Amino acid sequence: MNRTQCLTAEWLKTSNLSGDQLLLEALLRRGFLAFLDQEGVFLGSGSHAGDSAILKLVDGIEIFPTTARMDRVAKIAFRDSDQVAAAIRIVALGENHTGTGIGHFTGFGVGGYIKDDWPSYKRMKWGTKMAVCPAQVQGQPDVWNALDTGIALLVKALPLARVGTAYSCDGHGTEPANIEFHFPWDPQWAEAVFWILGATTPGSTWHWGKRNVTIYPSLGYSDPAVLAMLHDLQCVSRLLLNQQVIDRIEVARSNLMSDIKACNRWGDDLPPNDFIYESRRCLKNAFYDE
């Protein structure tokens, strides 16, 4: 495990969580789109097929595919009595590098075969559905195109907000975390979404660039400072794991595209300032108008 995985594992060990709460936390911390209800822990319908496949390889975990509800892919449960050890094995699933070894940016999303122009952006609905860890065997240390632990849940959740990611890196506990976006309008739309959701990040500073977002730990790279950044990444990501939020974002983006089409002065290429202003307006209407 690299530093971000080790910090996450140590935090889980001291969290006093157990049972389904521990299982849910381990899954979310590693980037799985998981939720807990009165029936247990489930993978959500936005999950990649590879997410169920990799969890089948984790010792101490049982997975039961289900078609009982549209929002569920599979039920997940602990099999062994040593639940903490099983939770750590989830967190330790391989990344695209070992320590500071191969790879810097990991988890390739929307590919170069899709243009980054306005017509392509308008056609995009869900971004790219990515696997957390497309490994072949348990314990595989370097897994091509696996997501970094610290940034995985945000990369998995952003498509639910209609954001197309390209590359990502959690900084491995020594550098800032970063997500590169495919379309030039993605960071503006994502920033507007987090604005309307009232996302707070006391342990980190977020810088929205022209094609990326960079997340810095607010107090340097000590263990507590990096862990605080990881907590922020989880909190922000989980704001998107709510069906009502997802539905309202869908309404806002649909209205935005309709308004843009009706406004002749914009044409096919939108000035960035107009786009972020209109994004906030449509999101505000969708979230707060009766």
Looking at per-residue pLDDT, the higher value among 123 and 149 belongs to 149
- Residues 131-169: pLDDT tens digits? 998 877 777 767 778 899 999 999 999 999 999 998 899
Interior/surface letters 26-62, b for 16+ CB within 10 angstroms, e for the rest = bbbbbbbbbbbeeeebbbbebbbebbbebbebbebbe
> Domain coordinates of the chain in residue numbers?
3-246
Residue 130 has pLDDT above 70, yes or no: yes
Q: How far is the C-alpha of 191 from the C-alpha of 213, rounded, in Å?
A: 9
Contact status, residue 266 vs residue 47, Cβ threshold 8 Å? no
The DSSP H or E segment spanning 199 is none
- Residues 209-264: pLDDT tens digits? 999 999 999 999 999 999 999 999 999 999 999 999 999 999 999 999 888 876 65
Q: Note the pTM of the prediction, 2 decimals.
A: 0.92
Longest distance between any two alpha carbons in the chain, whole Å: 64
